[in-house]
Amino acid sequence: MLGFLKNRKETDNDQPKEETDIINQPVTTENIKNILSDSSDIIYQVHYINGNRHLPVTVIFVDGMVNAKIVNDDILKPLTQEKILNEEQDYKALIELIKHGTIYHAPRKVRKKLQSVLEDISNGYVALVFDKEKKAVTFEIKDFEKRSITEPTTENAMKGSKDAFIEVLRVNTSLVRRKIRTPYLRIKEVVVGRQTKTPVAVIYIENLTNEIMVKEVLKRLKAIDVDGVIAAGSIEEYIIDHRRTLFPQVLATERSDKLCHNILEGRVGLIIDGLPVTYIIPGTYAMYFQAPEDYAQNFVISSFIRILRYACTAITLLLPGFYVAVTSFHQEMIPTELAVSIIRSKQDVPFPTVTSIFIMLIAFEILLEAGLRLPRTIGQAVSIIGALVIGQAAVQAKLISPAVVIVVATTGICGFVMPNQDMANAFRVLRLVFVISTSIAGLYGLALTLVVLVYHLNTIETFGIPYMSPYAANDGKDVTKDTVIRIPLFLMKKRPVSLKTTNKKNQK
């Protein structure tokens, strides 16, 4: 038994079997068949170059991932009918002719390694395998079903661009190219995942974005060693600095205009093949309170809305705990008439205030989660029934006081004002922590928890940038430009100081 475990441990530490099977093997049709096995969607076709039986070539591709018409017109037709190919009887000369355009399709690569050929075939390429030369020429002819570009579903666009990212990497990078047309836009790819081989595009502007930040992003992506990248967390959780905090450190968005705006400011964009969500690096606290529409409206209106967001954030975080503190520990703070009203509403309620608040907050979270997971029409019905019927019935049955319902409803509505759901989720958890602390020590507990929270936020750094910048870094620079208020665009002549961009100015 111990010998088996020892052998098992040694095997687990060795290189994966699928990789050892491929390394150092020549590029031949037989080797490709041995690796890809008998999968029914892999097509193998033997063709004679211009009808010459002495010059066979194997055409290999994945059915459903390539455009059959382009394969016929641009690959097979010239391969069997182009007269210049008939003049050559040597495979080396034929490969050179194909490499330099005898076959019409433009994106082509000459492959000498079996692993590269297999990766190309899996990615929607057509491979021409020359067994005698142990080489293959691959052509990119991807054509598979994909979603059309539609409006954003999680981030409403009122006056901004309405083209949202989809699950195809090249479509998403083209959306960025259409908006940022500078020749200095750089898109570098890193393949992540031993099994999925998922390409991840790192996007930035050369001679503008901080090169140290770009190198750090690429370094962290290359260090990821997982089987696959299917969910967004497969990338996000591996590249962030602080993995034990509730607060998001990279900003997720499905809007192309939002990603491009931040790239122009000097940040780095991340696009993952197979996901309609992109990431903006680094994500600082103030960014989660900003929306693209802030820059499409009058600066006074935008500033008012931002102040409202910050105020609503304070309410959703502190109101339940504050209510528990003043009703349980500091009744002298409540005006007499209001205190009498609260006492009357609580007379027949069997639970203490803190228990009622907890019950309602948990019930609110359950209803919210049910509304998100169910189909849209059913989810809306569940939310309405839960809010109106169950809430009203609980009040009439004297299980919950009306004041508690009002406090929790106000807390929930204020939480929806935040533009970013990841930050809103962090505050959803934290308000429960504030309720617990105030139930123990009243307003002292609330104040202590708030101090700990502010301290924690100030200890976070994301890719070398303080999380609370510009509030707690760079000597307060940029605090009055694009944070709680937004000054007019023509006065925002410099990029954020904290990003340390190469080009400091964005306008003259």
| Structural tokens at position 341 | 């009203």
What is the band of 385 on the pLDDT scale with cuts at 50, 70, 90?
A: low
pLDDT score recorded for residue 475: 66
Rounded Cα–Cα distance for residues 23 and 20 (Å) = 5
Mean pLDDT across the stretch 174-198?
Answer: 92
Instruction: Kindly state whether residue 493 falls inside one of the protein's structural domains.
Output: no
Label residues 392-428 b or e (16+ Cβ within 10 Å = b).
eebbeeeebbbbbbebbebbbebbebbbbbbbbebbb
What is d(CA 412, CA 69) in angstroms, rounded to the nearest whole number? Answer: 55
The answer as to whether 494 is a domain residue is no
Range of the domain at 371: 295-459
Number of domains in the chain: 3
195 and 98 together in one domain: no
Residue scoring higher pLDDT (134 or 382): 134
**pLDDT for position 10:** 42
Per-residue pLDDT band for 9 (boundaries 50, 70, 90) equals very low
The more confident residue out of 20 and 40 is 40
Assess whether 354 and 378 both reside in one domain.
Answer: yes
Report pLDDT digits (tens) over 489-499.
Answer: 888 888 888 88
φ, ψ for residue 108, nearest 5 deg: -140, 150
Final residue in a domain of this structure, among 249, 283, 317 = 283
Q: Are residues 330 and 455 in the same domain?
A: yes
- Do 7 and 75 have their domain in common? yes
pLDDT for 379: 64
- 299 in the same domain as 279: no
Residue 184 and residue 78 share a domain: no
Share of the chain above pLDDT 70, in %: 91
Nearest to 360 by CA among 312, 396, 395: 395
Residue 501 lies in a domain: no
Q: How confident is the model at residue 400 (pLDDT cuts 50, 70, 90)?
A: confident
Task: Name the percent of the chain lying above pLDDT 90.
Answer: 39
Let me know how long the chain is: 508
The answer to the question of residue 154 being in a domain is no
Is 471 a member of any domain? no
Same-domain status, 304 and 440: yes
For residue 163, being part of any structural domain is answered with: no
Phi and psi at residue 284, to the nearest 5°: -105, 165
Q: Are residues 440 and 325 part of one domain?
A: yes
In a domain, 177, yes or no: yes
First to last CA, the chain: 75
Cα–Cα distances (Å) from 37 to 31, 43, 124, in that order, read 10, 12, 17
Residue 262 and residue 325 in one domain? no
324 and 455 inside one domain:
yes
> What pLDDT is stored for residue 19 in this prediction?
56
Q: Which of 440, 459, 478 is the last residue of a domain?
A: 459
- Residue 23, pLDDT score: 65
Instruction: Provide the phi-psi class of 244: left if phi over 0, else alpha when psi is between -120 and 50, else beta.
Output: alpha
Query: Alpha-carbon distance 386 to 350, whole Å?
Result: 22
Query: Do residues 300 and 429 share a domain?
Result: yes
Amino acid at 319: L
Residue, of 201 and 385, whose pLDDT is higher: 201
Residue 130 lies in a domain: yes
Residues 30 and 124 placed together within one structural domain of the fold: yes
Q: Whole-prediction pTM value?
A: 0.84
Tell me what the mean pLDDT of segment 86-113 comes to. Answer: 79
Q: What is the per-residue pLDDT across 295-352, written as a single tens digit (0 to 9) for each?
A: 888 999 999 999 999 999 999 999 999 999 998 888 888 888 878 887 787 777 788 8
Structure tokens at 495: 């990029």
Of 283, 305, 338, the residue that ends a domain is 283
- Residue 506 has what DSSP assignment? S
